[in-house]
Homo-oligomer: A and B are copies of this chain.
Amino acid sequence: MQLMATKTQLATLFLLLLISATVHGRKPRSRSPCQQYVFYFHDVLFKGYNYKNATSAIVGSPQWGNKTAMAVPYNFGDVVVFDDPITLDNNFHSPPVGRAQGIYLYDQKSTYSAWLGFSFLFNSSDYVGTLNFAGADPLLNKTRDISVIGGTGDFFMARGIATLLTDAFEGDVYFRLRVDIKLYECW
Protein backbone atom coordinates (compact mmCIF):
# COMPACT_ATOMS: atom_id res chain seq x y z
CA MET A 1 0.00 0.00 0.00
CA GLN A 2 2.71 2.41 0.99
CA LEU A 3 4.73 1.38 -2.08
CA MET A 4 1.70 1.84 -4.30
CA ALA A 5 1.26 5.41 -3.15
CA THR A 6 4.92 6.10 -3.83
CA LYS A 7 4.60 4.80 -7.38
CA THR A 8 1.62 7.06 -8.00
CA GLN A 9 3.50 9.98 -6.59
CA LEU A 10 6.48 9.24 -8.81
CA ALA A 11 4.23 9.03 -11.86
CA THR A 12 2.66 12.34 -10.90
CA LEU A 13 6.06 13.96 -10.51
CA PHE A 14 7.18 12.66 -13.89
CA LEU A 15 3.96 13.91 -15.44
CA LEU A 16 4.50 17.31 -13.87
CA LEU A 17 8.02 17.55 -15.27
CA LEU A 18 6.89 16.43 -18.70
CA ILE A 19 4.10 18.98 -18.85
CA SER A 20 6.30 21.70 -17.45
CA ALA A 21 8.85 21.07 -20.21
CA THR A 22 6.13 21.08 -22.87
CA VAL A 23 4.65 24.32 -21.63
CA HIS A 24 8.04 25.98 -21.63
CA GLY A 25 8.56 25.25 -25.29
CA ARG A 26 11.37 22.73 -24.95
CA LYS A 27 9.47 19.75 -26.33
CA PRO A 28 8.22 19.59 -29.89
CA ARG A 29 4.64 20.80 -30.16
CA SER A 30 2.00 19.45 -32.45
CA ARG A 31 2.36 20.59 -36.06
CA SER A 32 -1.17 19.71 -37.02
CA PRO A 33 -3.27 22.86 -37.46
CA CYS A 34 -6.16 23.65 -35.11
CA GLN A 35 -7.88 25.64 -37.88
CA GLN A 36 -7.50 25.87 -41.65
CA TYR A 37 -8.74 28.18 -44.41
CA VAL A 38 -8.20 28.77 -48.12
CA PHE A 39 -8.76 32.18 -49.70
CA TYR A 40 -7.83 34.04 -52.86
CA PHE A 41 -7.01 37.68 -53.22
CA HIS A 42 -6.71 39.87 -56.25
CA ASP A 43 -4.40 42.82 -56.84
CA VAL A 44 -4.83 45.34 -59.68
CA LEU A 45 -1.99 47.86 -59.70
CA PHE A 46 -2.61 51.50 -60.58
CA LYS A 47 -0.59 52.23 -63.73
CA GLY A 48 -1.58 55.83 -64.37
CA TYR A 49 -4.74 55.18 -66.41
CA ASN A 50 -6.80 52.59 -64.49
CA TYR A 51 -7.76 54.38 -61.26
CA LYS A 52 -11.29 52.99 -61.26
CA ASN A 53 -10.31 49.32 -61.38
CA ALA A 54 -7.08 49.57 -59.45
CA THR A 55 -6.96 48.00 -55.98
CA SER A 56 -3.38 49.09 -55.22
CA ALA A 57 -1.04 51.98 -55.86
CA ILE A 58 2.70 52.65 -55.73
CA VAL A 59 3.24 55.09 -52.85
CA GLY A 60 7.01 54.95 -52.54
CA SER A 61 9.81 54.26 -54.96
CA PRO A 62 13.58 54.65 -55.16
CA GLN A 63 15.12 57.67 -56.86
CA TRP A 64 15.11 55.88 -60.23
CA GLY A 65 11.43 54.91 -60.00
CA ASN A 66 8.05 56.59 -60.23
CA LYS A 67 4.43 56.16 -59.10
CA THR A 68 2.93 54.66 -62.28
CA ALA A 69 5.39 51.93 -63.25
CA MET A 70 7.48 49.42 -61.38
CA ALA A 71 11.18 50.30 -61.01
CA VAL A 72 13.69 48.44 -63.19
CA PRO A 73 15.08 45.91 -62.42
CA TYR A 74 13.00 43.67 -60.15
CA ASN A 75 10.88 46.53 -58.80
CA PHE A 76 13.43 47.04 -56.01
CA GLY A 77 12.32 49.78 -53.67
CA ASP A 78 8.72 50.02 -54.85
CA VAL A 79 6.24 50.33 -51.98
CA VAL A 80 2.59 49.50 -52.68
CA VAL A 81 -0.54 50.09 -50.59
CA PHE A 82 -3.37 47.71 -51.39
CA ASP A 83 -7.08 47.17 -50.81
CA ASP A 84 -7.72 43.82 -52.47
CA PRO A 85 -10.95 41.80 -52.55
CA ILE A 86 -10.80 38.34 -50.94
CA THR A 87 -12.78 35.60 -52.64
CA LEU A 88 -13.46 31.95 -51.90
CA ASP A 89 -12.53 30.82 -55.41
CA ASN A 90 -10.15 32.06 -58.09
CA ASN A 91 -12.74 34.26 -59.83
CA PHE A 92 -12.06 38.00 -59.57
CA HIS A 93 -15.78 38.62 -60.02
CA SER A 94 -16.94 36.33 -57.22
CA PRO A 95 -18.58 38.16 -54.31
CA PRO A 96 -15.80 39.30 -51.95
CA VAL A 97 -15.91 37.76 -48.47
CA GLY A 98 -13.47 40.32 -47.08
CA ARG A 99 -10.64 42.71 -47.92
CA ALA A 100 -6.88 42.22 -47.83
CA GLN A 101 -5.42 45.58 -46.83
CA GLY A 102 -1.91 46.75 -46.08
CA ILE A 103 1.46 47.21 -47.69
CA TYR A 104 3.98 45.30 -49.75
CA LEU A 105 7.40 46.34 -50.91
CA TYR A 106 9.85 44.85 -53.36
CA ASP A 107 13.09 44.31 -51.51
CA GLN A 108 15.57 42.34 -53.58
CA LYS A 109 18.02 43.79 -56.08
CA SER A 110 18.76 40.54 -57.91
CA THR A 111 15.31 38.94 -58.34
CA TYR A 112 11.63 39.41 -57.51
CA SER A 113 11.01 39.31 -53.79
CA ALA A 114 8.71 41.27 -51.50
CA TRP A 115 7.94 41.90 -47.87
CA LEU A 116 4.32 41.92 -46.76
CA GLY A 117 2.55 43.52 -43.83
CA PHE A 118 -1.21 43.31 -44.09
CA SER A 119 -4.53 42.20 -42.64
CA PHE A 120 -7.55 40.24 -43.78
CA LEU A 121 -10.72 42.06 -42.70
CA PHE A 122 -13.90 40.01 -42.49
CA ASN A 123 -17.35 41.27 -41.60
CA SER A 124 -19.82 38.75 -42.96
CA SER A 125 -22.19 36.08 -41.73
CA ASP A 126 -19.27 33.63 -41.93
CA TYR A 127 -16.55 35.53 -40.09
CA VAL A 128 -16.20 38.76 -38.15
CA GLY A 129 -12.66 39.78 -37.29
CA THR A 130 -9.19 40.22 -38.67
CA LEU A 131 -6.10 38.16 -39.33
CA ASN A 132 -2.72 39.91 -39.32
CA PHE A 133 0.18 38.79 -41.48
CA ALA A 134 3.88 39.60 -41.92
CA GLY A 135 6.68 37.97 -43.81
CA ALA A 136 8.86 37.51 -46.83
CA ASP A 137 7.48 36.64 -50.25
CA PRO A 138 10.21 35.45 -52.64
CA LEU A 139 7.90 35.55 -55.64
CA LEU A 140 9.62 33.05 -57.91
CA ASN A 141 9.24 30.21 -55.41
CA LYS A 142 6.16 28.17 -56.20
CA THR A 143 4.93 28.55 -52.61
CA ARG A 144 6.03 30.97 -49.92
CA ASP A 145 5.31 30.84 -46.18
CA ILE A 146 4.57 33.95 -44.16
CA SER A 147 3.51 34.32 -40.52
CA VAL A 148 0.06 34.84 -39.10
CA ILE A 149 1.17 37.13 -36.29
CA GLY A 150 -2.18 37.72 -34.62
CA GLY A 151 -5.92 37.89 -35.00
CA THR A 152 -9.00 39.53 -33.55
CA GLY A 153 -12.71 38.73 -33.28
CA ASP A 154 -13.36 35.21 -34.58
CA PHE A 155 -9.60 34.86 -34.98
CA PHE A 156 -8.80 36.04 -31.44
CA MET A 157 -5.07 35.64 -30.66
CA ALA A 158 -4.49 33.37 -33.66
CA ARG A 159 -1.00 32.41 -34.76
CA GLY A 160 0.01 30.27 -37.71
CA ILE A 161 1.46 30.04 -41.18
CA ALA A 162 -0.02 31.29 -44.45
CA THR A 163 1.27 29.67 -47.62
CA LEU A 164 1.09 31.93 -50.67
CA LEU A 165 0.86 30.64 -54.23
CA THR A 166 0.73 32.88 -57.29
CA ASP A 167 -2.39 31.57 -58.93
CA ALA A 168 -2.23 33.96 -61.88
CA PHE A 169 -0.50 37.11 -63.01
CA GLU A 170 -0.61 39.47 -65.97
CA GLY A 171 2.60 41.47 -66.22
CA ASP A 172 2.71 43.86 -63.30
CA VAL A 173 -0.94 44.93 -63.59
CA TYR A 174 -2.74 41.96 -62.05
CA PHE A 175 -1.90 39.10 -59.77
CA ARG A 176 -3.97 36.63 -57.83
CA LEU A 177 -2.68 34.85 -54.76
CA ARG A 178 -4.04 31.65 -53.28
CA VAL A 179 -3.56 31.69 -49.51
CA ASP A 180 -3.60 28.52 -47.43
CA ILE A 181 -3.91 29.57 -43.82
CA LYS A 182 -3.06 27.08 -41.12
CA LEU A 183 -3.47 28.18 -37.53
CA TYR A 184 -1.47 26.36 -34.86
CA GLU A 185 -2.59 28.52 -31.96
CA CYS A 186 -6.35 28.79 -31.51
CA TRP A 187 -8.06 30.27 -28.47
A9 → chain B closest CB, angstroms? 8
Q: How many copies does the complex hold?
A: 3
Contact A30 B22 (CB under 8 A): no
B76 contacts A79, C-beta separation under 8 Å: no
What's the nearest-Cβ distance from chain B to residue A25, in Å?
A: 5
Task: Tell me which of A18, A55, A113, A150 has the highest count of chain B C-beta atoms within 10 A of its own C-beta.
Answer: A150
Q: Does A146 contact B (CB under 8 A)?
A: yes
Main secondary structure of the interface of A (DSSP, over half): mixed
Quick one: closest B residue to A147, CB to CB? Answer: B150
Complex Cα distance, B109 from A99, in Å, reads 11
A105 beta carbon closer than 8 Å to chain B: yes
Tell whether, in the assembled complex, residue A135 and residue B134 are in contact, meaning their CB atoms are under 8 Å apart: no
Indicate whether A119 reaches chain B with its CB closer than 8 angstroms. yes
- Interface check A43, CB cutoff 8 A: no
Does A121 make an interface contact (CB < 8 A)? yes
A103: chain B residues within 8 A (beta carbon) = 79, 105, 107, 115
Contacts of A147 in B (CB 8 A): 132, 149-152
A30, B161: Cα distance in complex, Å: 23
Can you identify 20 A-B contacts, CB atoms within 8 angstroms? A1-B4, A5-B8, A15-B16, A16-B19, A19-B19, A19-B23, A23-B23, A31-B187, A46-B62, A48-B63, A62-B81, A83-B107, A101-B115, A102-B107, A115-B117, A117-B134, A119-B136, A130-B136, A132-B149, A146-B150
Residues of A whose CB lies within 8 Å of any CB of B are 1, 4-5, 7-9, 11-12, 15-16, 18-20, 22-26, 28-31, 34, 46, 48, 51, 55, 57-65, 67-68, 76-79, 81-83, 99, 101-103, 105-110, 113, 115, 117-119, 121, 129-130, 132, 134-136, 138, 145-153, 156-157, 159-161, 184-187
